[in-house]
Amino acid sequence: LGDADTGSEAGSSTMAEVVTASIRAEKLGKRSPLHQFRMRVWLTFTEMDSSALARYVSVVVMGTTLLSVVTFVAASCPVGGCHWVHDAGGVLPVGDRWCPDSDGMRYGDLRPIQIMETMCVAIFTIEYVLRLCCCTVVMPLHHFLFDTLNIVDLAAVMPWYIKALLNAVGASGDARFVGV
């Protein structure tokens, strides 16, 4: 069998890899169309190199992550800006932050920022739910649910849903603390 058996040539496959790939393809062919579809969806959302669509999805999710971080930072800034007190003639303590134009309002209270945050959460939720629905083709459900990165993904969107729930039941008060 020569070099193909040892895998010594760059880019060549071993006989075991060829046989394994052949068996995998044969088994996939015997799977139901639903199973095959779920496997394709799983690969699209977890393996960037599995297809052109997977690369596109990966870029969209990474871009959404960047937009979400920028939106989170912007949402925490007071409208009108602030400055540090150097000398207020004794009215304010030196070293405090003074936000004269904000009236307690932050950029996160503005509709465009809220819309961007909602769009990001929607994209993250769709991605998480699709991976959740398809995970059992490659692993038991509890492995997916207790995987550290999946817990982080869930924790990243939960504050938005908690705030929405609090607003829906009229118990929101100042629900900004939830997003921290």
The predicted structure's pLDDT at residue 128 = 97
Six-digit token string for 131: 């991976």
Structure tokens at 58: 């990966």
What pLDDT score was predicted for residue 95? 62
112 has a pLDDT exceeding 70: yes
Number of DSSP helices (H) and strands (E) in the chain, helices first: 7, 2
Could you give the angle at which helices 148-168 and 111-134 cross, rounded to 10 degrees?
130
Stated as kind and residue range, the H or E segment containing 72 is helix 52-75
Tell me the C-alpha distance between 145 and 179, whole Å: 22
pLDDT in tens, 66-101: 999 999 998 888 877 776 666 656 566 656 666 766
The model's pLDDT over 130-158, given as tens digits with 9 standing for 90+, comes to: 999 999 999 999 999 999 999 999 999 99
| 170 or 125, greater pLDDT | 125
Considering the entire predicted model, what is its pTM? 0.70
